Amino acid sequence: MCGIIGCVSEKDCYGALYDGLKRLEYRGYDSAGIAVLDRELRIFKKKGGVSNLSAFYARGGTGIGHTRWATHGAPSDANAHPHRAGKIALVHNGIVENFAALRAELEGEGERFFSDTDSEIIAKLVSRAYRGDLLAAVQSALLRVEGSYAVAVIAEDRPGELVAAKRKSPLVAGKGSAGLFVCSDIPALAGTAEYIAQAEDGELIRIADGEIEFFDGALHPVPKTFFRPQEELRALSVAGGGYFMRAEIAEIPRALRDTLAALREKDFAPCARALRAAQRVFAVACGTAYHSALVFADIVEKEAGIPVLCHTAGEFRYRAPVLGTGDVLVAVSQSGETADTLEAARLARARGAYVIAVTNIGCSSLASLADFLLVMRAGAEIAVAATKSYNCQLLCLYYLAGQMLFFKEERLPSWWGSLERLPAAAEASFGCFAEVDRLADRLHGARAMYYLGRGLDLCTAREGALKVKEIARVFAEGYAAGELKHGSLALIEDHFPVVCISTGASLAKKSENALAEVKSRGGYCALFSQYPQVLQESCADAKCLLPALPEPLMPAVAVIPLQYFAYKMCLERGFDPDKPRNLAKSVTVE
């Protein structure tokens, strides 16, 4: 979602802020802005990309920057951050839930607003409370705010000082040779800040006199330990006008190897009692991560006979879930900052359940909530649409499922030894890309398409459909192949495209029946399978042979050509695969 950065430096900070905003672009944004303080407060903000700010420059060692993802108010120059009120400039990530009431109150007292945002309200509240003590003013203003926030604030008469605060939105502080920083994103500071510390909910940060201080909500000092950010969180570079998504697909074998090495070194003994005693397991996630959770649920139920209730995190706590002591909740989030997943984990902890987190960021909010943590080693993922992180989530969940079976029945699943083959199989799947290129050339004009699968292949179908929706803007639906005749077959007509994943031998003929139904009505069929005979006997128009692994592991390989297909469809349709319309990488608001 929105990205914020703040800097206090002995040098001019504009360049550091601009570079930080460029690193934050992957979070998703529709406008950007910078405020710099020297003798006076200067603000530059524009609708559109961060590059729009390159035409401006201001000298000064204190500043804040922002990339906005619109919630209240359409994308515009006026709604872009930073917002100014009197001597105060502020950037905000989050949502003010009592926005309407506060705005009506302030307007009734004569305040004039220059934007449609909820964030400007916080700036007004800080300005009203400010009497020379910026920390106290921010604390006082935020007492009136309901909802989520990470804010960074500077005052025109306080050069060299910056105050930040957080509730349910990520915020970190960092120290580096370029200055002292606050930022909404650890990867965005990797390479800039040599040491980082994370703020907890309700805490405030003050940068002044060359120091970073943390305070609780009552302004009592909070001791913090600064740590070095993980080297692997530094972003890939893409040369020659390439795209991060393509580079990140190419990174999948490396990411799987590194993740597997980390899992082999992980001691699962601390969670043994919880896994052994678990009567029920809940799995919660959003978007792509939810599809990995569906695979986990299927495998655990088949292998260990433990019921796994899989939910989208945004719906989980509103269902009044029946969970408590003795239950296990597995929460999956690439960033570890997904707001709905965090709330599900908090609910589970409050009910006494044991929380296991799977994330790419070991120092994230989700990591701090968990009783047990599995950190994938995907490395920084800049493209908004998840690719390599999905494959690594699956690997972590395979490993967790295997450990669950071991602690329950003192045995490992039959496919356990094949996990080491997964990176090589992922690399071999790149051999499908030539066929996928031809498929994208043929189908790029499609207005809609189905992805079909059964069993674990249905999870892959759903992820494939999500990818092509996200970046190629083609309506797509991942559908159970056996359900096609129960309504959706009505949409099949001449040349309607259907992609089928068929990696389960026992269900292959049933999936083929669905393709025959499509073909008889004029549809165009593409089939992906690791079984040559399945492809040979199929009526599909396009066929692609996948590398072979034990069937439970195939979702981590079968998805790769579908990720690449979405990428190619996106390019064919003239869009930017790294920055899909209306979407953000890290969804930090509900």
Task: Say whether 467 is catalytic.
Answer: no
Single-letter amino acid, residue 382: I
The burial class, CB within 10 Å (0-12 / 13-18 / 19+), for 309 is middle
Query: Cα separation of 220 and 586, whole Å?
Result: 31
Give first-to-last CA distance, the chain, whole Å.
Answer: 11
Q: What gap in Å lies between CA 82 and CA 162, rounded to an integer? A: 14
Contact 397, 296 (CB under 8 A): yes
* Order of strands across the sheet that contains 211-215: 83-85, 88-96, 147-155, 162-167, 204-208, 211-215
| Residue 585: active-site member | yes
- Judge contact between 248 and 381, C-beta under 8 A: yes
Q: How far apart are CA 356 and CA 373, in angstroms?
A: 6
Residue with tokens 């060359």: 210
CB-facing half-sphere around the CA of 307: CA atoms within 13 A: 6
| 2, 310, 363, 392: the active-site residue | 2
Q: Is residue 170 reached through a cis peptide bond, with omega within 30 degrees of 0 on the bond before it?
A: no
**Which amino acid is residue 316, in one-letter code?**
F
Instruction: Give the 3-state secondary structure of residue 549.
Output: coil
> Helices marked H in 410-554 — which ranges?
422-428, 433-443, 456-472, 508-519, 532-536
Contact present, 462 and 390 (Cβ < 8 Å): no
Alpha carbons 445 and 402: distance in angstroms, whole number: 43
Calculate the CA 427 to chain-centre distance: 24
Q: Is 134 helix (H, G, I), strand (E, B) or coil?
A: helix
**The one catalytic residue among 168, 175, 568, 585:** 585
Residue 191 corresponds to which tokens in the numbers above? Answer: 């390479």
Q: Per the structure block, which two tokens stand in for 154?
A: 């500077």
Contact 489, 522 (CB under 8 A): no
**Which residues belong to the active site?**
2, 585
